Amino acid sequence: MTESELREAVTRELPGVRADLERLVRIPGIAFEGFDHSHVERSAEAVAELLRGCGLDVEIVRADGQPAVIGRRAAPPGAPTVMLYAHHDVQPVGDRALWESDPFEPVERDGRLYGRGAADDKAGIMAHVAALRAFGDRLPVGVVLFVEGEEEYGSDSLEQLLADHREKIASDVIVIADSTNWDVGVPALTTSLRGVVNCFVEVRTLHHAVHSGMFGGAVPDALTTLVRLLATLHDDAGNVAVEGLVGRDEAIVDYPEDRFRAEAGLAEGVRLIGSGRITDRLWTRPALAVLGIDAPATAEAPNALVPAAKAKLSLRLAPGDEPKQAYLALRDHLERYAPWGAQVDVTFEHDGAPCVIDASGPVFDAARAAFRAAWDGTDPVDIGVGGSIPFIATFQEMFPQAAILVTGVEDPHARAHGPNESLHLGEFARVCLAEALLLAKVAEAGTAPTR
């Protein structure tokens, strides 16, 4: 199909694609513990139905986890096979009072579609579907659609799923539609992502709570102790102060501070933390955040010294770091700097490796040409991402000959994982066109099968 024909086909399919996206958003498929996982099952079934409608051979698979969906269509003779990845599970919604509309009832406001999963990552699924629908029976490459069901919960079963179905999903090109674009109107290829280590730290200073007046002033309470310990994790400028972590200054794009402050929603007067270029702080250096603290709620707190307090920490690792070593460095720091001899217990939760992608070669040239065409001549930007998609390292290890393209449906205003998540509908149309053009250009490039 010509570029003109693909443009017309994508435009024709977009109303139906949006309607199906809205149907997916209405399914609260949350894979976290404590949620009704029957909705994840419903979500997988809905995705399977969409893929069958594209003429794919479809199966729902699992490996001691939530259901994933695999759809396949064989390549024409001599053509490459492209894997299209997305995930159908979503993050919990958090405090519903912070949402301006029901998170599971999609609503359009000011050109954006609001709802949990509208961007992350049900729009990724539908971008794949849009490209397949645009081609119909004239698809120039083989495709494997791999739609995971527990990415937001950590992809615990993904490695086993890939091993179990390795032969049927092996591909020459892998497109992972789970990242972001540089800005509205500016496409991007993600070429590096940070890794992650999550853990818990608990401090104990007492065997039981005691009267704050009778013992305060001599006995340290656990909450004050925990706060002092957490304060050692950063220096006065806000740089991570844990020894042994990897960090470097090598980001190739700058991020204007006024734009960054607006997109982050930074409160007036709050200064940025860390030093150096913003993109280095976000992409190529570690970051450390306190995600939560277990301690008495203020409304219920008695006048007593707290005997134990616990915090959840999230450490983002710069490309080149190793999760197990980074965890040991963080654990050693927390144990070494325990205030006043407090007992400190550090518990590992999960980790994921960072990754770097060599974005050179004919497949990446094809992707850049497709993006440039879909965005009317705007060149795509190679970016790093401060977040983590640990399974990309797994794909790199299992399919070392495949070119991996990390693309995105999000933009800096999408608020993925937060209240009022949304999808820019104009950008989504460009993403759908870009993917269709990408498949055509990969076929034109004549990428030889490597398997």
Q: Which residues are catalytic?
A: 89, 151
What the block records as the tokens of 260 is: 């960054």
| Strand spans (E) along 326-436 | 343-352, 355-356, 381-385, 403-410, 422-424
DSSP 8-state class, residue 59: E
**Placement of tokens 């995930």 in the chain:** 87
The Cα–Cα gap between 156 and 95 comes to 26
Residue pair 71/51 in contact by the 8 Å Cβ criterion: yes
What the block records as the tokens of 273 is: 């933390």
The Cα–Cα gap between 142 and 443 comes to 9
Residue pair 112/425 in contact by the 8 Å Cβ criterion: yes
If you compute the radius of gyration of the chain from its CA atoms, what whole number of angstroms results? 24
| Strand spans (E) along 66-123 | 68-73, 81-87, 107-109, 112-114
Q: Where are the alpha helices (DSSP H) in 29-150?
A: 38-53, 122-135
Strands 355-356 and 210-211, bridge-based pairing: unpaired
Q: Where are the alpha helices (DSSP H) in 54-146?
A: 122-135
